């Protein structure tokens, strides 16, 4: 029991020690910093943003973003700088341009295609039911069989 408590205490101190405290000259920069590190992707991890990643490059990029914010750069200038170094991959939400129009337009095209298919399917003549497609001879034979069944009971 004591060993488990010691192990838990050790793990909790490691978690606390790994949190990075960012100091700003102006506290109004903190929300911009948080928004930027959540919008930018870690180049190494690829599926995490800079805020969630603990890779060395993410730590460097967070420090770089802090430095650029302290230099009064705008969010767009910071994104453009990082985009020039790491390509548009660093943006979680890529900009709409000639190289990304398919990425942004494909959901709308797929939705319209699905609606078109659904409308064409609903306009088609409904399939005939078994009672409508039975010929007069078949209906007479069915009636005769039913009469025979009723008479036998």
pLDDT tens digits in sequence order for the chain, 153 residues long: 666 655 565 555 544 444 466 777 778 888 899 999 888 988 888 788 888 888 899 889 999 999 999 999 999 999 999 999 988 888 877 777 777 777 778 888 899 999 999 888 888 766 555 555 667 888 888 888 888 777 776
Alpha helices in the chain (DSSP H): 2-18, 29-39, 56-70, 75-86, 101-123, 130-133, 136-152
Tell me what pLDDT residue 16 has: 45
Tell me what pLDDT residue 3 has: 60
Tell me what pLDDT residue 18 has: 45
Tell me what pLDDT residue 17 has: 41
Bridge partners (DSSP) of residue 49 are 41
Tell me what pLDDT residue 62 has: 92
Secondary structure of residue 74 in the 3-state scheme:
coil
Token couple for 119? 């409308």
pTM over 0.75, yes/no: no
Tell me what pLDDT residue 113 has: 92
Tell me what pLDDT residue 126 has: 60
């Amino acid at each position: 029991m004591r060993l488990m408590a010691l192990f838990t205490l050790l793990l909790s101190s490691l978690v606390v020690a790994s949190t990075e405290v960012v100091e700003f000259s102006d506290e109004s920069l903190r929300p911009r910093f948080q928004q930027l590190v959540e919008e930018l992707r870690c180049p190494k991890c690829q599926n995490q943003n800079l805020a969630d990643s603990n890779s060395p490059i993410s730590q460097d990029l967070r420090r770089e973003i802090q430095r650029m914010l302290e230099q009064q750069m705008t969010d767009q200038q910071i994104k453009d700088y990082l985009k020039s170094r790491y390509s548009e991959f660093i943006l979680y939400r890529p900009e709409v341009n000639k190289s990304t129009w398919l990425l942004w337009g494909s959901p709308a095209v797929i939705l319209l295609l699905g609606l078109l298919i659904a409308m064409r399917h609903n306009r088609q003549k409904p399939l005939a039911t078994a009672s409508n497609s039975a010929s007069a001879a078949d209906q007479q034979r069915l009636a005769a069989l039913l009469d025979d069944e009723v008479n036998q009971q």
